[in-house]
Structure 1
Amino acid sequence: MDSTKTNTETTINMPESKSTKGKAMAYTAITNATPHRQGGWKRGVAIFDFILRICALVAALVATTTMGTTDQTLPFFTQFFQFQASYDDLPTFTFFVVANAIASGYLVLSLPFSIIGIVRPHAAGIKLLLLILDTVLVAFTAAAAASAAAIVYLAHNGNSTTNWLAICQQFTDFCQKVSGAVVASFIAAAIFIFLVVLSAVALRRH
């Protein structure tokens, strides 16, 4: 007689230890939480970037309007000569107004891109574009502010070697306004520098 042997396979289920379960759950929680933490950090940087751009816009607009409306006429004058000082008498001040006006226009146009950076904090292309343009505007506004500051210094102190008189002793209002405009422009340039550093850090941590 043929005997038939039936082979059966036995599967042994080993219970998973509590420590293994705990490690797996902790790893899953850390993995899931990491993108949220990174996104939250980048969103916070983008919000700060937006606030700084508004501050720079205010500073650039103040510099532009203050310098562009600076004009003073002394109360005493003769029939053939009148003492008057205006920003457009000096090409340096004219360049100052144009440079800060361009910076103001750029900041207005950059605000929508900054908002996109808040909505999409992981978008590196927008940050790189703003980083390049911000770097250009740093040089632009700093050059305008520095050149205007040199003229303001001469207006306050004069230069005895070249016989340049200190006109601020007579044109006090004119010098106060142009000095305030130069300070506002330096503030805008400093904010641009901070924006460049902030964008570079955000791209480095991307």
Structure 2
Amino acid sequence: MNSNDTTAIHISEPKAHTKGKAAAAAAPAVVSVTTKASQHPQAGWKRGVAIFDFILRLCAIGAALAATITMGTTDQTLPFFTQFFQFQASYDDLPAFTFFVIANAIASGYLFLSLPFSIVSIVRPNAVGPRLLLLIFDIVMVALTTAAAAAAAAIVYLAHNGNSSANWFAICQQFTDFCQRVSGAVVGSFIAAAIFILLVVLSAFALRKH
């Protein structure tokens, strides 16, 4: 039997006896009984999508938070100069790296706050509101993390290769630890951006099937 099948039950009413008049036969009454089953047969796979969404958010938290901490703690001073004359490289010396730390910190905070909404989507897979809200903010986070990662990647490229036309010298031969850490942070941010893109695709796919 289909989940939305309707069963019709025919009930014949007794003849009404009135004094001095002929008895009128009443027409049979029809009572409709709807079998109550799942009204949304697609709830199963939507719950699976919501669970996958939750797992991806946990992975994105790890990537964005690692990128934030790695970049925010990057600082190297070359050891062969006196305390009055030193060469030092720190993330806050460059606006692009500062923007990188702020953007990934915002993305990490958003991901933590989005977890309860993701759980609601698991419990109520057919709810449109939480899914639509996550979709909107995930799109914003895609733009933010991609912009931050791209800006930092440009600086990392110059640090590794320099630019002879502008007389910018590569510094990674001297500041090896600094370059390794910022390069790893950029990779982590790009991973977080890729996960955000996947989250947007999943949310859009789930909403399209409503």
TM-score bin (small chain): 0.7 to 0.9
CA contact (8 A) 1:76 1:83 kept: no
Match of 1:66 among 70, 81, 85: 70
Partner amino acid for 2:71?
M
Residue in 1 that maps onto 2:60:
56
Partner amino acid for 2:137?
L
Flag the 1:84–1:198 CA change in 2: closer, same or farther, 3 A: same
Distance 1:185 1:143 in 2: 10
Residue in 2 that maps onto 1:204:
208
The answer to whether 1:172 aligns with 2:176 is yes
Please report how far the alpha carbon of residue 118 of structure 1 lies from its aligned counterpart in structure 2 after TM superposition. 0.3
Match of 1:99 among 103, 108, 118: 103
Please report how far the alpha carbon of residue 196 of structure 1 lies from its aligned counterpart in structure 2 after TM superposition. 0.3
Distance 1:119 1:191 in 2: 22
The answer to whether 1:38 aligns with 2:39 is no
Aligned residues: 180
Unmatched 5+ stretches in structure 1: 1-24
Distance 1:153 1:193 in 2: 24
Once superposed, what is the RMSD of the aligned Cα atoms?
1.5
Distance 1:127 1:36 in 2: 17
Partner amino acid for 2:153?
A
Distance 2:82 2:113 in 1: 48
Q: Secondary structure at the match of 2:126?
A: coil
Q: Give the fraction of aligned pairs with identical amino acids, expressed as a percent.
A: 79
Unmatched 5+ stretches in structure 2: 6-35
Match of 1:140 among 120, 138, 144: 144
Q: Secondary structure at the match of 1:134?
A: helix
Partner amino acid for 1:112?
P
Please report how far the alpha carbon of residue 167 of structure 1 lies from its aligned counterpart in structure 2 after TM superposition. 0.2
Please report how far the alpha carbon of residue 75 of structure 1 lies from its aligned counterpart in structure 2 after TM superposition. 1.1
Distance 2:59 2:110 in 1: 13
Please report how far the alpha carbon of residue 102 of structure 1 lies from its aligned counterpart in structure 2 after TM superposition. 0.2
The answer to whether 1:162 aligns with 2:143 is no
Distance 2:164 2:199 in 1: 41
Distance 1:29 1:104 in 2: 43
Distance 1:50 1:79 in 2: 50
Q: Secondary structure at the match of 1:94?
A: helix
Q: Report the TM-score when normalising by structure 1.
A: 0.84
The structure with more helix, counted as a fraction of residues: 1
Please report how far the alpha carbon of residue 81 of structure 1 lies from its aligned counterpart in structure 2 after TM superposition. 1.4
Residue in 2 that maps onto 1:122:
126
Q: Secondary structure at the match of 1:82?
A: coil
Please report how far the alpha carbon of residue 37 of structure 1 lies from its aligned counterpart in structure 2 after TM superposition. 3.9
Residue in 2 that maps onto 1:15:
none
CA contact (8 A) 1:71 1:85 kept: yes
Q: Which has the higher contact order (CA 8 A, sep 6+)?
A: 1
